[in-house]
Structure 1
Amino acid sequence: MTKQLELASEEKSRTTRAIVAIIGALIILAFMPIFIRVSESEISPNATVFNFSWIGTVFLLLWNGLLTLKSRESVNSKPIEQSPYTPKNLVFLLAIGLFTTAIGVLWSWSLVKTSVANSELLHSITPLFAVLGGAIFLGQKFDRSFVIGVGIALAGAVGIGLDDISIAPSKLEGDGLAILSAIFWAVSLLVQEKLRTHFSATTIVFWCSALSTLFILPIILVTGDQLFPYSGNSWLSAIFIGLGGVLNMILTAYSLKWLSSGLVSTILLLNPTLTAILAWAIFSETLSMLNLLGFVVILLGIYLVISSEGGVKTT
């Protein structure tokens, strides 16, 4: 009985840490469109993705180097990780690199071709693809409460975006890129969830960043785009995108060990509302009742998803 209580307590603690991690990722993600826009005032979307990738890769190399040195200094230290680099897992890692590159390129170009409001709204359909993919490819089972919770959260997110969405033929290309980015984001979450049974969060993110750098560099060289920004503000934006993006990915990958992709993507639906709240707090922008109502509706949906079967993984 005591052992069962200890396991239940440990499981609850892990779930709490995973939820805190994805909320941290959510806060970082809320700032990303602003810094991407600043970066793209001087360099192309492809170059923005390149800078995000290489800065993140260098940061993770330094971080892993420090961890290695620390483990060697400890007499009783154990290997941080025993990662089985089987052919199947290598294919998954290669795929996650491709997906990361596609997400960054499609999202950056969507912000050029369409409005931020349109891009954020179309990204809100990610949980739909994540839940369907989890059920089809990972064999996950979701009860009625989970499905209803995702539906409520989606309705809240769409309701917020409808107030600012702009329907124009000139923006259809950007809208399509945003939808593709949402699909790739859902697939990326599913692949990361699969890989988390074998690799740590930092290992997965390192491969994402390193492979994305290798994939995007030839594209920039062919197109002749400028690789690096030239002003101080744009460099600061690029550094934030790189470091913040990597931290966001690590927190997200960590949470996928204990939470399903459907739940993680549903929690991330709070991103547009959080961005609006930050704009209100920092820039004194108007915060409409629709934003607040949508925030409450999304929270209700997230509560139903967390409390249902399929959202939180059990051991």
Structure 2
Amino acid sequence: MRIPPFNPYIAVIIGVIAVSSSPIFVKLTNGVPSAIIANYRLLIAFLIMTPIILSKYRKEFRNINYRDWILAVISGIFLAAYFVLWFESLNDTTVTSSIIFITIHPVFVFLGTYFLSQERFSSGSTISLIIILFGSAIIGWGDYQESNAFIYGDLLAIVASISLAIYILSGQKTRKSLSLITYTYIVYGVGMITLLLYNIIMQNPFGNYSMKNWYIFLALAVIPTFLGHSLFNWAIKWLNNSTVSMAIVFEPIAATLLAYIILKETMIWSQLLGGTIVIFGLFLFILSTSRKNSVTISKKSNK
């Protein structure tokens, strides 16, 4: 057995913090159209990945069948929709509310899998879904008391969460036949082109932004993407899926702390209570829908 070159638990912690920085960066852009922010995030990430694809993975493109191309295109379109909807939600609601509603996307993935494969709900998953809905309702009610704009932002975040779930579901089979980096490269490319066309139609300006905003575009492409999601994907080689999934549940906590430190955003009672209930429900949901795998990390290398 192999030993990891780096402690996977530390990698997951770094990944959670990195991914949680995404809404903070979006808030700091100060008025840049959401579709432009999303477009540059995917464009820069796509360009960074291009030399690696050309040097090591270009042969994989010859073996991609028609069905996989179609599914990858669908994934890319919904990834673009997810970014635009989520970033737009941050203009109308708080980081805490938005990230909590994004974090419940595993519920929509599970529901989609249920309707596609007719899998039965376990009692644990049913109870956890009720808990998550109850916590979400508390957040929504509290936001409604604060401002109607908050509710609009919450709804955008929920639709973004559904878009993220469709992105994940549509790419499940394709990811099994392609390497992760090739699949990601194609999806990012499709998402980038989708957003490019959308921005042209909406006549959003592609330039005349401050240097601070260009640094934020770069940070969005590098930190949440490569220091966040890439570390999660690497950690899955050493830890089971449920462990990494549970770690991702801590994103709302990390994002809320970053929002408080950097943006001076404070929580209201409904976000604290509802968020706690949602996170608890997500823990139960992941436990009830994950297969139990015993994973050990050997201290000896077997080369």
Greater relative contact order structure (CA < 8 Å, 6+ sep): 2
- The TM-score with structure 2 as length reference comes to 0.73
When residues 66 and 287 of structure 1 are mapped into structure 2, their CA distance, relative to the original with a 3 A threshold, is farther
Distance 1:51 1:216 in 2: 9
**Structure 2 letter corresponding to 1:200:** S
User: 2:300 corresponds to which residue?
Assistant: none
Give the CA deviation at 1:101. 1.1
**CA positional deviation for 1:251:** 5.0
Aligned-pair CA distance for 1:237: 0.8
1:133 partner letter? G
Deviates more, 1:92-101 or 1:229-238: 229-238
- Cross-structure match for 1:32: 22
How far did 1:235 drift?
1.4
Query: For the residues of structure 2 that align with 1:154 and 1:100, how far apart are their CA atoms?
Result: 24
Please give the root-mean-square deviation of Cα atoms over the aligned residues, in Å: 4.1
Residue pairs, 1:61-140, within 5 angstroms: 61-65=50-54, 67=56, 84-138=63-117, 140=119
Task: Give the Cα–Cα distance (whole angstroms) in 2 for the partners of residues 215 and 82 of structure 1.
Answer: 20
Q: Secondary structure at the match of 1:196?
A: helix
Q: Which residue of 1 aligns with 2:36?
A: 47
TM-score by length of 1: 0.71
Distance change >3 Å, CA 176–CA 207, structure 1 → 2: same
Partner residue of 1:205?
Answer: 184
Equivalent position amino acid for 1:137 in 2? L
Please name the residue that 2:256 is paired with. Answer: 276
Offset, 1:132? 0.7
Count of paired positions: 287
Deviation string 1:180-239 (CA, Å, 9 cap, x unpaired) is: 212111111222333332122222221121111111112222333221463222111111
The Cα shift of 1:171 comes to 5.2
Unaligned runs of 5+ in 1: 1-5, 70-78
Residue of structure 1 in register with 2:297 after alignment: none
Q: Percent identity?
A: 23
Distance 1:84 1:21, change over 3 A: farther
Deviation at 1:280, TM superposition (A): 5.2
- The 3-state SS of whatever aligns with 1:43 is coil
The alpha-carbon deviation at position 96 of structure 1 amounts to: 0.7
Q: Shift of residue 90 of structure 1?
A: 0.9
Tell me how far 1:253 sits from its aligned partner: 6.1
CA distance in 2, matches of 1:134, 1:20: 31
Segments of structure 2 that go 5 or more residues without pairing to the other structure are: 295-303
Is 1:189 paired with 2:163? Answer: no
